[in-house]
Structure 1
Amino acid sequence: MGLLDKRSTTAATPDAYSDDDDTQPALIFIPDISGFTKFVNETGIQQSRTLIADLLEIIIEANILDMKLSEIQGDAVLFYRPGPPPSVQEVINQCKQIFLDFQNYLRIVERDRGSSLSASLAGSSLTLKVVVHYGQLSVTLIRDHIKLMGKDVIIAHRLLKNNVDSNEYVLLSESFLQTQTEEAIRQSFSNWTQLRTGSTHYEHLGEIQYRYAYLTPLRLLVTNHRSLDSSKKYPNTFSSSVTIKAPARFVLRIISNFRLKPAWVKGMTNVYYDTTKANRMGMAYKCNLNRGQIDIQTVQSFIGEDYIEYVEKIYNFRVFPNALLFFYLTVVDSQHTELSIKFHYSRVVKNRFFYFYMRRRMKLFLGRSLLNLKSLCEKMYQQQ
C-alpha cells in the first residue's frame, strides 16, 4: 500500500482550508545557490553580481511546474504553487531542469578563459540545492510585494540548514512525500540516484523528517562546451556554415532579435516574449514551430574584435532534449561575416535509424534556416 492509503490526505486536497484562517495548501519549492557567500567574498560584489543575477534569472526561467514566484532571497528563490501537490516525478523533473540549466550556464562562462570571471569560477564551488515541502500557507500582500506566511513556510526555510553531507541535492520533506505513493517515489529515483533518509532537530519545531538525493549524478548530462569540433568525441553535434555580406555585429543584431526569428527560422510562425527583458541574458521566449511549440533561452554572448559567439538553450524539444545552439561569427572583413551554427544535444533514444532520420531532418532545417538568415541580413543591411 502507498502512503496515501495509510495516512491522512487532508493537506493534499485543494479545498483543505482551515475554518478560522485564510491558509491554503501549497507546494513550497526553494532552489538555493550553494557556495554563494564564499564566491561573492572571494570575487567581489562588482564582478560577481552580474553572474549571480544571470543565475537567478535562469532558475526563474526554468520554472516548468508553472509555480508562482514569491521572492528572491539573496541566493535563493522562493516558489510556491497553491492547490494539490504535483507528482513526485514532476517535482524531480523540475529539479533536473533547474540543475542542468544552472550547470550548463556555468560551463559556458568558464569557457571564456580570457576573463577574470572565468578564472574565479574555475576554483569556485557554485552549485544548487533544492528544498521541496508541502503544507499550509497564507499569501499576504505588503506594499505590492507577495509575502508567504505560516508554519510550513518557516519549516521549508529551516530545511535549507540540515544534516545532509553535500552541497548539491534535492531534499523532500516528509509532508510532501506523504502525498505520494511509495511506488511513485521509488520509480522517480531508481534509475539515476539513491534516495536517502534523514532528519534534523530545529528549535521550536522539533524533529523534522525528510528524504534527500544527491544531484551530482546529473553532471554526466551537463554539456561540455569547450570543444565541439571532434565528431568522434562529440557525435551528438552537427553544424552548418555560410558567408554573409554584412558586418558581424549587424548579423548578431538580426540573430538576437526575437521579433525577426519567424523571418528566417524555417517553419517558425510566432514568437512570444516579455518586451521589457528582450536584451537580457537568461531571457526565455516561446516559439510556434511547425505543429508544436518550443521554449528557447538566451544563455550567453561573447563579443570580441574579430569573433562573436551567441548561445541559446532549447527546451521542450523531445527528440533532442537538453539542446544548445551555438552561433559563431567570424569577421572576414568590414563587410563580410563567416557564420557557423552548431547544434549540440543529449541523446536519450537508442534507436539508430530514428536518430539517423531525425539528424538528417535537423541538418536540412538548419541549412535552410541559415540560407534564410543570410538573405535577410544582406537585404536589411542594404536597406539601412
Structure 2
Amino acid sequence: MSVQTGYLLIADITGYTGYLTRSELEHANPIIRSLLEAIVIELKDPMKLRGLEGDAVLAYSSGPFPSGETFLNICESLYRGFAERRRNIVQNTTCPCNACRNVADLDLKILAHHGKFEELSIGPMKDISGADVILVHRMAKTDVKEDTGIRSYALFSEDAFQAMSIESDLMQYSAQFEHFGDVPMRVYDLAAAWQRYREIAGPVRVADEDAVFTTRHILKAPPVIAWEMLTDPRLKMRWMMLKDAYREGDVSRTSAGVRLHCIHEAAHFQMLIVDWHPFEYVTDILHNSSIEGLTNLETYELVPVQEGTEIVFRMGQLTDAEGKHHPAEESAVIDLFENFYPVAFGILDEMALELQQEKK
C-alpha cells in the first residue's frame, strides 16, 4: 500500500479505568458503548473510522481535506455528541448503582496529528501504521489537565495546527516523548466551546409547516463539503454571486452569534447566525438592506442521501421589529429566491465537481 498523508485523530474517554474498576459491569459496559456510539455518529467524511481501542475511537483522513476550520468543527462535534449523550444518561437514570451514579465523572479528550502513514490490509483486517500513528498515541500520555486546568480538551500537534491553518490562537504546549524528543502542541478547550454554543445557540429551525418558501437540491458531495460551501464567507462569495463577504467584528470563526455581511451589487445582506449545528443545519436571521426594518429566519438543512447531500433551504415569514407580517414584501423576496437558487445551486454543482477533480 502507498504512503498516505492526512489527519490522525483519537477521541479518548477519560476516567475510563477508574470508572470501570468501581462500577458494576452489567451497567458500565452499556454506558461506555453508548458514549462511544455517540462519538462515532459524529465522525464525518472525509474522516474514516479505523476502529475502537477500548475507551477510544481512532479515525484518520487521507488525501485533500476541505479545510482546517472543518476539521475543528468535526472535533467540536465529537465532543458535543459525547457531552449531550452523557447529559442525557445522567438526567434520565434513577439507578443508584455506581456505574450510573458516576457517569458524570467521564470526560473526553481528543488527540490530533497530521502526518504520514500506511494503510495495511492483513486478511480481513485493516489498519494504519507509521511513526506518526505512534506519535498521536503518545500524545494521550501528557499532563495537559494538570498543567492547564483544562479537563476536556483537544490537543493538536504543531503539525496538525499548521495543516489546519486556522486563525484561532490556541494555547501552546509541549511534551517530551521517547524517540520523538520535544513535541510542540496546541490546546483547545472543548467544554468551553460547547458551553458557548449552548449559551448562544437555539434550537432555532424553520420547519416545513412554518416555511413560506422551500427549495431542495441534491449536491454530489458529502455533508462536510456542502457545509463548508454554505458557511465559509470566501466560498459564499462565489455561489451567492457576491462582491464581498466577511464576518463582522473581531472574530476568526463562523459560529452561533456571528454576523456575516454579504455585499451584492443590488443590496447588502446581514446574516446573524442563531443556531449552528455543523454538518446538519444552520439558521440565521436575514436582514436585506433593500427592505429596511424587515427580517426573516432562514434555515439550511443538510440531509445525507445516496448521491451526496440534499440541501434544503426554508425561509420563514418576513416580519418587522414588532412581529407584524409583511406579505407584499415577502412575495417579492420569494420571487427573487425562485430565480436566485437555481443559478446558485448550479454554481455549487460546479464547485463540488472541481473539488472532486482535485481529489483525483
Q: Which sits farther off after the overlay, 168-177 or 152-161?
A: 168-177
Q: For the Cα contact (< 8 Å) 2:297–2:315, is it kept in 1?
A: yes
Deviation at 1:292, TM superposition (A): 5.4
- Paired letter, 1:169: Y
**CA separation of 1:360/1:49 partners in 2, compared to 1, >3 Å: closer, same or farther?**
farther
Alpha-carbon distance in 2 for matches of 1:70, 1:134? 15
State the one-letter code of the partner of 1:170. A
Q: Quick check: 1:140–1:148 contact (8 Å CA) kept in 2?
A: yes
Structure 1 residues 25 and 77: CA distance shift in structure 2, 3 A: same
- Paired AA for residue 212 in structure 1: V
- State the Cα deviation string for residues 210-269 of structure 1 (Å, max 9, x = none): 111111212425769xxxxxxxxx99579xxxxxxxxxxxxxxxxxxxxxxxxxx979xx
Cα distance, 1:161 vs structure 2:
1.0
Paired AA for residue 207 in structure 1: D
Partner of 2:191: 216
Aligned equivalents of 1:82, 1:126: Cα separation in 2:
31
For residue 180 of structure 2, the aligned residue among 186, 205, 218 is 205
SS across alignment from 1:178: helix
Give the match's secondary structure for 1:96.
Answer: helix
**Cα separation, 2, equivalents of 1:237 and 1:200:** 40
Pick from 131, 142, 152 the counterpart of residue 168 of structure 1: 152
CA distance in 1, matches of 2:201, 2:129: 50
Q: Which residue of 2 aligns with 1:291?
A: 216
Q: Which residue identity lines up with residue 30 of structure 1 in the other structure?
A: I
**TM-aligned CA distance change 1:348 to 1:52, over 3 Å:** farther
Query: What displacement does 1:358 show?
Result: 6.2
Counterpart CA distance in 2 for 1:132 and 1:38 is 24
Contact 2:93/2:100, CA 8 A, preserved across alignment: no
How far 1:349 moved relative to its partner? 5.1
Instruction: Determine if contact 1:92/1:188 at 8 Å carries over to the other structure.
Output: no
Change in CA separation of 1:354 and 1:42 when aligned onto 2, cut-off 3 Å: farther
**Per the alignment, do residues 235 and 125 of structure 1 end up closer, same or farther by CA in structure 2, a change over 3 Å counting?**
closer
What are the residue-to-residue correspondences of 1:42-191 with 2, within 5 Å? Answer: 42-116=22-96, 120-121=100-101, 124-165=104-145, 166-181=150-165, 185=166, 187-188=167-168
Indicate the percent of aligned positions where both proteins have the same amino acid: 26
1 CA distance for matches of 2:160 and 2:101? Answer: 35
Q: How far 1:158 sits from its partner (Å)?
A: 0.4
* 1:181-202 deviation per Cα after TM superposition (whole angstroms, max 9, x unaligned): 4xxx2x345xxxxx11111111
Pair 358,39 (structure 1): closer, same or farther in 2 beyond 3 Å = farther
For structure 2, the 5+ residue unaligned runs are 224-272, 288-293, 299-313, 319-360
Number of aligned residue pairs: give it: 234
Distance change in 2, residues 1:235/1:24 (3 Å): closer
Equivalent residue, structure 1, for 2:265: none
Q: CA deviation at 1:98?
A: 0.9
C-alpha RMSD of the superposition: 3.8
CA 1:235–1:220 in 2, change beyond 3 Å: closer, same or farther? closer
Q: Note the residue ranges of structure 1 that are not aligned, 5 or more in a row.
A: 1-20, 190-194, 225-233, 239-264, 268-288, 296-317, 324-344, 362-384
Deviation at 1:148, TM superposition (A): 1.0
8 Å CA contact 1:321–1:346 kept in 2: the answer is: yes
What CA deviation, in whole Å up to 9, does each residue of 1:276-295 have, x standing for no partner? xxxxxxxxxxxxx9615899
Aligned pair in 2 of structure 1 residues 51, 222: CA closer, same or farther (>3 Å)? farther
Deviations 1:115-143 (Å, cap 9, x if unpaired)?
Answer: 34698345632121111111110111123
Query: Could you state the TM-score of these two structures normalised by the residue count of structure 1?
Result: 0.52
Q: Is 1:354 aligned with 2:296?
A: yes
- TM-score between both structures, scaled by the size of structure 2: 0.55
Pick from 196, 199, 208 the counterpart of residue 171 of structure 2.
196
For the 8 Å contact 2:153–2:190, the answer to whether it is kept is yes
Whole-Å Cα distance in 1 between the matches of residues 201 and 176 of structure 2?
49
Secondary structure of the residue aligned to 2:46 is coil
* Aligned AA (1:31): A
Structure 1 residues 90 and 118 mapped into 2: Cα distance closer, same or farther (>3 Å)?
farther
Q: Is the 8 A contact 1:89 1:188 kept in 2?
A: no
- Give the drift of 1:360: 7.0
- Distance in 1 separating the partners of 2:202 and 2:171: 34
The alignment status of 1:26 with 2:6, answered yes or no, reads yes
Shift in CA distance, 126/49, structure 1 to aligned 2, threshold 3 Å: same
